[in-house]
Chain A
């Protein structure tokens, strides 16, 4: 039986050997990939604005277009390669949200089209929608209670 100080010494030793993430490199790659996706989104928004759309409408169409692209590139296997480089830079834009749906759906295809694919595709998107809707409604309730 190892005593407490031995255990602590072992844990400290083990901690030293866990590889530290490359903070600077990861951040830089995330910045470049996330920035590039945002700039592309700006291009899509500018295109819709040039057709005479209102700002909010152009924003909604941009989101739909970027989701389409994210889903398509995931299907083609390109987005997952981008994710290896970009990390949060490819996961956190709205294209990354589409990526979580398509990749989960493809992974569970073999378990059937209803309880496999259609159920499992919301593995990450489900929590995102659940927490988003709940916090939005709570924010609305707080506003109503405070200001009517």
Chain B
């Protein structure tokens, strides 16, 4: 059941992105940025966390989740340590994914050659 929910919700989220891409002149990079900022805004409105709790990977696999973990990290640190937390908390939850993207990205690009 959780697989089906993840499939449907993840599918719907990326389809929204596809429709934006097809019906505007935005590049896919623009759509990615839009999704991350959108995830951050939905987190601020208190909507993204329940979506992740309810639909699991359906909400946590699209890049909008990146906006969620960045913002959620800021909120958690804000509760604990006040204003400085908005800076120190931003990579608290997202740091692992960013570090992985940098290191794996760099190493795999070193290892493999581009194809024509």
Closest B residue, CB atoms, query A99: B105
Q: Mark A65-77, 1 if CB is under 8 A from B, else 0.
A: 0111001101111
The total number of A-B Cβ pairs within 8 Å is 262
- CB under 8 Å from chain B, chain A span 36-53: 36-39, 41-46
- CB under 8 Å from chain A, chain B span 61-116: 61-67, 70-71, 73-75, 78, 82-83, 85-87, 89-90, 93-94, 96-98, 100-102, 104-115
Q: Is the interface of B mostly helix, strand, loop or mixed?
A: helix
Q: What residues of chain A lie closer than 8 Å to B39, measured between beta carbons?
A: 132
Q: Is A56 an interface residue (CB 8 A)?
A: yes
- CB under 8 Å from chain A, chain B span 19-68: 19, 21-23, 28-29, 31-33, 35-37, 39-41, 43-44, 52, 56-58, 60-67
List chain B positions with a Cβ less than 8 A from chain A: 2-4, 6-15, 17-19, 21-23, 28-29, 31-33, 35-37, 39-41, 43-44, 52, 56-58, 60-67, 70-71, 73-75, 78, 82-83, 85-87, 89-90, 93-94, 96-98, 100-102, 104-115
